[in-house]
Structure 1
């Protein structure tokens, strides 16, 4: 970040000094390590050591000055000569009104969160200011505290002046993933989930999940499992601690759940590991992560992803007994699934044992009922645990609206479903005639557990978004938890396995790919580089969806439409802006998402002078589309309709 950008934000921010501390660490002490409770300056007056800020090394020999953002991990290690230092914590918040330019700078690289360090050319100037601030901070007078605030600005000025005179310094943006890894390694013994981790790191759960997976190929909670299992393995082979003690030391509240997780991870039980004093070569790498392709877990947006419902035996579904069994069953299911067919058939009541009916089918031509079960058993991998479907489920309850679309696309129907919260109708018009007999189970945000019990499902399908109700619904029926942000194509493949229609799913995907490939060429020729943005008025502002959003991925990825620069610079699925900031989005065309819940709000926005001044409004390039269709029902039918609407709108003269 340039000095000019630094100064713009410092000049336009309200600053409050939170604390001032002076400390010393000698060579006899191994290290000083703590997480920054607030943004702050670290001023080292003397000493020789290595300082790490979020694993970034700073070599200190004498005077040194650093800055670290809130949540950063600060380590002072390898102390070769006693280090004396001051820590000055502060809080900064841009003062209203926020200018668009300042908001963009702050979002891109906040000086209050950046980490940097340098050898000061005039260390005594910094020491004098710090010494004076410390003395006043310890005084009880409110006037003295006010003086500290004035001196803080002088300290910041002196820091920036010296940095500028040295030609700048290596300012680095906080590395979210590195901070997450360090936190996981330091806190693996504590029970927490993705939401809690994101809160500590001051990031969004989806943002953290996406960035972490991009770098490590697995999510942070999978990474945590790897760390816990490696620590557990070391304790098993290197100590005499009991299973309960090891479970508690690695973040598990129950030794039973710990044992299951360990066996799932390494392929052998904890006791077998202790007896053999080694991990089987067929297990995972001892690296906390190992090969991503070998990891048995999927990312979980939950606080207790590593615990499972004891649930007992299910009539239709059983849990996997070993990773080898899963591999064999899955291979068999894929082979048989290609040959499965038919829509009829009675429900089987087989348990874990081999079915006499399935044995007989090898010597006689299968009837309709047998044909429908030909692709079973089949293993379904999901966020909680792998489960095996012994036969096709007949009464499926889906607790996310997009799953309804997925099933109908495969010519199947759920027995019960939640509805979209923003609509006055139970189901959208394009699906309503096919869902007349479907039981309404509340909304996605507030599922009705009593209604779920009453419909007596033999399988429940939810997303990680509803993880908090997993323990409750998994006691009603076997429950599959799918990733809320998973690509609809991958979800369709999973549903194809669940209902025994893998070929039908493949046919749907092939037809879609052919459609978008053809339309993409036509759009590129027609649009001539003009940009598109997706807007959703809601909650007193306007949400702008980015290419990382699932519908944005269709527009910008599948159809190759161009997003405005302001939209592509945001590292999240969406961001909220005020109406006054809308001109800054700068798109040539806008798709405007509207629904019953925010209809009046959207209409009010469109009456404003700001809205009417937009060039796309003047040229009739604002296109109203249905939020329920474009956002809630994220399945093949809805997405094909979205693609058709985009084509008709942009190619058909609007």
Structure 2
């Protein structure tokens, strides 16, 4: 009897040990996927709603491909590194990204899908120039659209910057930078209120001139900074409204803001000044008062919508309003 009882106790004890081992394996299983902060970061995700859909992304993604230069300058300002960028036509103020340490992921309108696939990115950020490639890029990695909505420029800019702060765990830094930009805009807006006169925005492109007004890609000058438009009926389109020197003379702006596309994409020598400052335009108030302002195309044409580019855009307009 004693032997049977002893055997029973030994068997029961062995079963308890096995059960305890089994429970220990289940507890440790999540740790095999990562421990400490690393494991927490891998598990934490955000759902980003954007113009082209809804995308789940990791917080603090490691391998990031960025196609929008405004987003790139914001990420750089926040102290976050990226893996790949389109290295053709990078704005001069972002020339560090031409270095070979960064992967070249194609052109602004022609992404290199093979190279991007090799990177196996944790996040891809695009804007208008890559919108048509969204579906294909989404097959490679989580892709979000972060173009600026020019009809609500500041709200859109702030939303994008705030989301980038959330994605890269830089909320406080993003908020502080936004506050600084808004303060500079408020200061400029007050200056504009005390400045009489109208403004006209034109793009010089291979011998052609296009005008842009409120709600356009360059409409921040009117919509946010407060410069009164010389023409309130300019057609809103990506490529602007085709105009002539006679049109500029007819509208006779007090300030003429010029963006040189050729200088931005480096297609030969810049010819904007020769195109704009002809005998007809020289009769305008803007020319007579030395108020033709040539804006830096790096900020206005290639990027825009970034913490750095918007800050510099504010400075250029402020300096131009003499």
Q: TM-score, normalised by structure 2?
A: 0.76
Find the partner of 2:246 among 573, 576, 580: 580
1:516 matched to 2:185: yes
Question: How many residues get paired?
Answer: 281
| 573-582 or 506-515: bigger deviation | 573-582
The alpha-carbon deviation at position 615 of structure 1 amounts to: 2.8
Find the partner of 2:117 among 453, 476, 486: 453
The alpha-carbon deviation at position 587 of structure 1 amounts to: 0.9
Find the partner of 1:561 among 217, 227, 233: 227
**CA separation of 1:467 and 1:585: change in aligned 2, threshold 3 A:** same
The alpha-carbon deviation at position 593 of structure 1 amounts to: 1.0
Number of the residue aligned with 2:22 = none
* Paired residue secondary structure (1:389): strand
The alpha-carbon deviation at position 643 of structure 1 amounts to: 0.7
* Paired residue secondary structure (1:551): coil
Find the partner of 1:379 among 43, 47, 59: 47
* Paired residue secondary structure (2:61): coil
* Paired residue secondary structure (1:592): strand
* Paired residue secondary structure (2:290): coil
* Paired residue secondary structure (2:293): strand
**CA separation of 1:513 and 1:561: change in aligned 2, threshold 3 A:** same
Deviations 1:168-195 (A, max 9, x none): xxxxxxxxxxxxxxxxxxxxxxxxxxxx
Find the partner of 1:645 among 309, 316, 319: 316
Find the partner of 2:93 among 430, 435, 440: 430
Unaligned runs of 5+ in 2: 1-28, 151-155
Greater Rg by CA? 1
Number of the residue aligned with 1:531 = 198
The alpha-carbon deviation at position 435 of structure 1 amounts to: 5.9
**CA separation of 1:562 and 1:428: change in aligned 2, threshold 3 A:** same
1:442 matched to 2:109: no
**CA separation of 1:545 and 1:460: change in aligned 2, threshold 3 A:** same
Q: After superposition, where does 1:201-216 map in structure 2 within 5 Å?
A: none
Find the partner of 2:138 among 474, 479, 488: 474
* Paired residue secondary structure (2:215): coil
Unaligned runs of 5+ in 1: 1-353, 362-366, 421-425
Number of the residue aligned with 2:20 = none
Q: After superposition, where does 1:246-285 map in structure 2 within 5 Å?
A: none
C-alpha RMSD over aligned residues: 3.0
**CA separation of 1:523 and 1:453: change in aligned 2, threshold 3 A:** same
The alpha-carbon deviation at position 631 of structure 1 amounts to: 2.4
Deviations 1:218-243 (A, max 9, x none): xxxxxxxxxxxxxxxxxxxxxxxxxx
1:507 matched to 2:162: no
Number of the residue aligned with 2:290 = 620
The alpha-carbon deviation at position 548 of structure 1 amounts to: 0.6
Q: After superposition, where does 1:307-318 map in structure 2 within 5 Å?
A: none
What is the CA–CA distance in structure 2 between the aligned matches of 1:375 and 1:450, rounded to whole Å? 28
Contact 1:401 1:418 in 2 (8 A): no
**CA separation of 1:451 and 1:370: change in aligned 2, threshold 3 A:** closer
Q: After superposition, where does 1:130-279 map in structure 2 within 5 Å?
A: none
Find the partner of 2:281 among 611, 619, 624: 611
Number of the residue aligned with 2:208 = 541
Contact 1:460 1:478 in 2 (8 A): yes
1:636 matched to 2:307: yes
Q: TM-score, normalised by structure 1?
A: 0.39
Contact 1:401 1:444 in 2 (8 A): no
Deviations 1:591-643 (A, max 9, x none): 21122337544244145322333332222111212212112211110110111
